Structure 1
Amino acid sequence: MSNDLQSTIHDILVDDLEVDAESIATDVRLDTLELDSLAIVEFITRVKEEFNVDLADEESALKDKTFGELVELVDARLGSS
């Protein structure tokens, strides 16, 4: 997993979804970041715009993932595209 990828996803959460930067760590579950369903959809849209990777099929499962798992998921999708 690249630091650039992790940094970009971190920036999407902070800049676009107004998540507190201090609260984001590799092992933090997304559901603890107070992301509602609209924020999840916005996140999926931003990831698609930024990386050309579609996570729509993961929408319901994203809240249960940690930040690290989310980065790994995007990384895996990048590798398969």
Structure 2
Amino acid sequence: MLVDDLEVDPDLITPDVRLDSLELDSLAAVELITLIKEQFGVDLSEDESRLGKMTFGELVELVNSGLNGS
């Protein structure tokens, strides 16, 4: 999603990269949340305000916990 839909350079995506360092503006963050909800059925809208401070790895963990119903 980050590469295909938001045009983030794939070389920049590592587990420890902070999402705000990928230059995702607030519109891109909302789009990412929407894509995650559509693709995985996980609603991250409550986490929108802290999304930029998360690492990619933390985002993956958050989505996984949503998939597992935790």
Q: Same fold (TM over 0.5)?
A: yes
CA-to-aligned-CA distance 1:13-64 (integer Å, 9 cap, x gap): 0000000000000000001000000000000000000001100000000100
**Residue of structure 2 in register with 1:71 after alignment:** 60
Structure 2, unpaired ranges of 5+:
none
More helix by share: 1
Number of residues paired by the alignment? 70
Runs of 4+ in structure 1 over 6 Å off: none
Structure 1 gaps, min length 5? 1-11
2:26 pairs with 1:37: yes
TM-score scaled to structure 1, two decimals? 0.84
Counterparts of 1:48 and 1:69, CA distance in 2 = 16
2:40 maps to 51
Q: TM-score, normalised by structure 2?
A: 0.97
Partner of residue 22, structure 1: 11
Report the RMSD for the aligned CA atoms in angstroms.
0.9
Shift of 1:76: 0.4
- Percent identity over the alignment? 64
